[in-house]
Amino acid sequence: MRRDLLTVIHRYYLDAISRLPPAELRTTLARGLLVGGHCFGLLGPVHNIIVNSIWYAAAFPLRGGAATDTEDDEVRAILATDGIVRICRRSLQGLVASLRHYCPSLSTADALYQLMNADADLSAAVALANGTTRSSALRAMASQNLVAFHLAAEAAQHPNPTTLAHFASSVLPTVSAQHDIPSFLLIYRFLSPGDINHLSTVLLPGLPCEPPQPPLTLVDRISEATVQGHRKASARCCELGIATLCIRNRRAAHSSFCMRRQSTKRPRTG
């Protein structure tokens, strides 16, 4: 069952990747997706991935600095792994942890069963487990969201569980109500750079006022190698892999739509 769930979650990531602009995906959004783009949250799984990726990239921008030889070795090792598989596994751990908080009577096996029936959609799984509607489940979840998402973030090895929990439980519901994020993501299925800038601006102001977290040295070195080209061989490998994945999924899923989008640009700049 766990393997089947990972397959479902993997499809969500491929869908999310196909919707992001390739240039941004190869740079800042690759880091946002692979480090902080988990599929749990109050939106649908694909929308959670997109929003969490954009928010993380905007909230924790890249930092410079010289890398040590040891860090260089770690960067090359991580860049050589399948980052999508890793984030899928971590997302599943987060889904299980949060679902068991919302529904304490569930065992891990029960949680996996409910998530499988709900296609890895957290609020749908809560509704199924409680025998209620999704809207009723969302209302019942509201008072528990902060703790649930903190547990999910910790289980998923998110670099900043406290800030993510605040964002997912407090900031995003407010922003989503004000700007109708779900409708925006439905209307603009394939996001432009302007759309990314718009979402980054909308999602970022709600960060809690707290001291900056210590630099995530290893994450910074990975990003630096990818974006700035200090370690060209590893960076090129990562860039080509993500670009190929993006292009393949765009063509396979919506080739005709993509061709129209490439030939006609929207006037809106975000």
Instruction: Count how many domains the chain has.
Output: 1
Task: Classify residue 270: in a domain, yes or no.
Answer: no
End-to-end CA distance of the chain: 41
Q: Give the percent of the chain with pLDDT over 70.
A: 69
Q: Give the percent of the chain with pLDDT over 90.
A: 60
The pLDDT confidence band at residue 68, using thresholds 50, 70 and 90, is: very low
Q: What is the pLDDT of residues 110-157, one digit of tens each?
A: 999 999 999 999 999 999 999 999 999 999 999 999 999 999 999 999
Task: Classify residue 137: in a domain, yes or no.
Answer: yes
Contact of 212 with 40, CB cutoff 8 Å: no
Identify which of 18-27, 69-78, 176-185, 251-260 has the greatest average pLDDT: 176-185
pLDDT at 250: 54
Among residues 98, 107, 87, 103, the alpha carbon closest in space to that of 1 is found at 107
- 61: containing domain: 2-263
Burial of 225 (0-12, 13-18, 19+ CB in 10 A): buried
C-alpha 165/C-alpha 77 separation (Å) is 29
Task: Classify residue 160: in a domain, yes or no.
Answer: yes
Task: Classify residue 216: in a domain, yes or no.
Answer: yes
Task: Classify residue 245: in a domain, yes or no.
Answer: yes
The pLDDT confidence band at residue 228, using thresholds 50, 70 and 90, is: very low
Among residues 155, 167, 189, 161, the alpha carbon closest in space to that of 41 is found at 167
Residue 116 makes CB contacts below 8 A (sequence gap 6+) with 1, 4, 5, 8
Higher-confidence position of 32 and 81: 32
Q: What is the pLDDT of residues 8-56, one digit of tens each?
A: 999 999 999 999 998 888 778 888 999 999 999 999 999 999 999 999 9
pLDDT at 225: 47
C-alpha 17/C-alpha 4 separation (Å) is 20
User: Two tokens at 55?
Assistant: 């928010």
Task: Classify residue 125: in a domain, yes or no.
Answer: yes
pLDDT at 139: 94
Axis-axis angle for helices 172-179, 193-203 (nearest 10): 120
pLDDT at 209: 44
CA atoms within 13 A on the CB side of 129: 31
Task: Classify residue 167: in a domain, yes or no.
Answer: yes
- Average pLDDT value for the chain: 79
Task: Classify residue 252: in a domain, yes or no.
Answer: yes
pLDDT at 233: 40
Mean pLDDT over 76-105 rounds to 85
Higher-confidence position of 231 and 157: 157
Q: What is the pLDDT of residues 148-183, one digit of tens each?
A: 999 999 999 999 999 999 999 999 999 998 999 999
pLDDT at 27: 78
